[in-house]
Amino acid sequence: MFFFLFSHSYLNLVAELLRFGDRHFYGDWWNADTLGSLWRRWNVPFQRWIQRHVYEPSLKRKLSTKQADMLIFIIVSGLLEYNIAVALQRCHLWLFLSMMFELLLAFLFERFFVGNYGNGLVWLCLLLGPPLAVTTYYHDHHMSQRGPDDDL
């Protein structure tokens, strides 16, 4: 219900107001069978933009497809961490590191987790990754607010 009301409906309203004709904001990310397909389906307009402005120029500069994929992932992870750092007014790199761990998982388990098992890995990362990142940021914020005489 939350996804439909606040993501799907909101994006369609913005598309109507901006006269954005495509209205293809996300793919069927819930059915992704690999982490790579999840990342490609999650935010389609941004995926198209980064492919056009980073991925294709990287291939023209003779990078391999894996190297270009890693470059994009590092750039996106850095941008997300930057957004969190600006919002919290401090940089801890938890989101960046968790995304790098996901990248490692994607490369290590790409051959072993396919089909339903791959979809299970995707959902495991979705259900564990963001809550762990939020918890670590909350912990860091809480610890920075403590005084020197506060008990644990």
Task: Please state, in angstroms and rounded to a whole number, the distance separating the CA atoms of residues 5 and 27.
Answer: 17
29, part of any domain: no
8, part of any domain: no
Tens digits of residue pLDDT in 130-144: 888 888 888 888 888
Q: What's the pLDDT at 45?
A: 82
- pLDDT (mean) for 62-68: 91
Beta-carbon contacts of residue 58 (< 8 Å; ≥ 6 apart): 67, 68, 71, 72
The yes-or-no verdict on residue 16 having pLDDT over 80 is no
Tens digits of residue pLDDT in 72-97: 989 998 998 898 888 888 888 888 88
Break the chain down into helix, strand, coil percent, rounded to 5: 75, 0, 25
Domain of 109 in residue numbering reads as: 35-142
53, part of any domain: yes
24, part of any domain: no
67, part of any domain: yes
* pTM attached to this predicted model: 0.73
Consecutive H or E run containing 22? none
- Total domain count, the chain: 1
Higher pLDDT, 20 or 89: 89
27, part of any domain: no
22, part of any domain: no
112, part of any domain: yes
